[in-house]
Chains A and B, each alone.
Chain A
Amino acid sequence: MERTDGVYSAEESHGSLRSYTMGYLCSIVLTIIPIALVFGDWLQGTAKAVALMLLGALQLVVQLFFFMHLKDEKKPHYNLISLILGLVILVVIVAGSMWIMLYNMVAT
């Protein structure tokens, strides 16, 4: 039952051991940096929050490119378009809630 015909493997061999290992190493580095930031007390307050979120976003990019093969997608980029829609809604929900509830309260 196993199909290993050349047509399939040539077209769908997403990624390689090399790219997965690269992605894994990148994500480990991107995890160690924020941990070091917190334990080392290098940044405070907003700067720390922004740095941590940026590192998280980079981690997301690493996962998308090395593990989820977003850049291998053929045209038209439906996956990318729906991802952008999802992220826009995400940012609106999170940033909007924070803005209204944390910085814009009328009654305190």
Chain B
Amino acid sequence: MEGDDFMNSSSLKAEQMHHPGSGHGHPDPEEMRTFGFWIYLMTDIMIFGTFFATYIVLRHNTDGGPGPADLFDLNGAIVSTFLLLTSSYTCGIAVLALNKGKKRALIGWLALTAALGAIFIGLEINEFCHMVHEGATMSRSAFLSAFYTLVGTHGLHVTVGLVWMIALMAQLSAKGITPVTKRKVNVISLFWHFLDVVWIFVFTVVYLMGVK
């Protein structure tokens, strides 16, 4: 960013004049946009932080209804965790393909990432339906309100990420790898890794600590 200009001043500036807009000294807008997205992720940390705090405080308030140990299927959560971890990895490989300029491979790895994410969401919806059928609705107890808010917000983020990824794949196949689409792939990979991290904590706090 700006600091680079100060660090390697004269030689770079001369070079930039020869190649205007080559992005060599890059205080470039795409990089600033990526940083802006990073700031958004930091605010997302705070949203999830408050939901985690709420869940931890309320998780024993089951009002005589079903508790974590009665409701959660740890095996399903473990499968979900490995799905999301793997999708985080495939998303990383997509970024590698991006850096090598391989458009077809990039779209393929993004598609695989989105498919894994879709299976994850499918499992989550299935779990929620199952719980609601057993009478564990959001309004049953404070514990369940906090649970659906926390896990549902994460699921909503993943769903938004899926829609976004599909739109980006369409844009990539239409426009190819440009500085703008490149930034978008980098940003969505940050988003995806972030959601993976959040899920790790959901898995730990809600599922692993819930099932005694």
Residue ranges of A at the interface with B (Cβ–Cβ < 8 Å): 1-4, 7-9, 12-17, 20-21, 23-24, 27-28, 31, 34-35, 37-38, 48-49, 52-53, 55-56, 59-60, 63-64, 66-68, 74-76, 78-79, 82-83, 85-87, 89-90, 93-94, 96-98, 101-102
- A-B contact list, 9 entries, CB within 8 Å: A1-B177, A3-B101, A16-B96, A31-B85, A56-B200, A75-B7, A86-B46, A93-B53, A94-B49
Min Cβ gap B190→A in Å is: 6
**How does the 8 Å CB contact mask read for B174-212 relative to A, with 1 for contact and 0 for none?**
011111000000000110011011001101110011010
- Whether the Cβ atoms of A60 and B197 lie closer than 8 Å is yes
B176: nearest residue on chain A (CB-CB)? A1
B208 pairs with A3, CB closer than 8 A: no
| Given A4-B101, A7-B23, A35-B208: A60 and B50 interface contact (C-beta under 8 Å) | no
A55, B49: Cβ atoms under 8 Å? no
B interface with A by C-beta (< 8 Å): 1, 3-4, 7, 22-24, 35, 38-39, 41-43, 45-46, 49-50, 52-54, 56-57, 74, 78, 81-82, 85-86, 88-89, 91-93, 95-96, 99-101, 103, 175-179, 189-190, 193-194, 196-197, 200-201, 203-205, 208-209, 211
Q: Which residues of A are found within 8 Å of B204, using beta-carbon distances?
A: 34, 52-53, 55-56
Which residues of B sit under 8 angstroms from A78, Cβ to Cβ?
1, 35
**Minimum distance in angstroms from A38 CB to a CB of chain B:** 5
Query: Of A2, A14, A16, A31, which contacts B103 at CB under 8 A?
Result: A2
- Are A97 and B56 CB-contacts (below 8 A) given A14-B95, A35-B208, A56-B201? yes
Residues in B whose Cβ lies below 8 Å from that of A16: 96
Question: Nearest A residue to B204 by beta-carbon distance?
Answer: A56
* Residue of B4, B45, B93 touching A86 (CB-CB under 8 A): B45
- The one of B35, B43, B52, B203 in contact with A79, judged by C-beta atoms closer than 8 angstroms, is B35
Question: Are A59 and B35 interface neighbours, CB within 8 A?
Answer: no
A103 to B167, CA, bound (A): 48
Tell me which residues across on chain A come within 8 A of B91, comparing CB atoms. Answer: 67
Do residues A28 and B101 form an inter-chain contact, with CB atoms below 8 A? no
Other A-B contacts than A13-B100, A28-B82, A52-B208, 8 sampled, CB-CB below 8 A, are A1-B175, A7-B24, A12-B99, A14-B95, A31-B82, A67-B189, A85-B42, A97-B54
User: Inside 8 A of A94's CB, which chain B residues have their CB?
Assistant: 49, 52-53, 56
Asked whether A63 and B22 contact (CB < 8 A) given A9-B100, A79-B35, the answer is no
Is A15 in contact with B35, judged by CB distance below 8 angstroms?
no
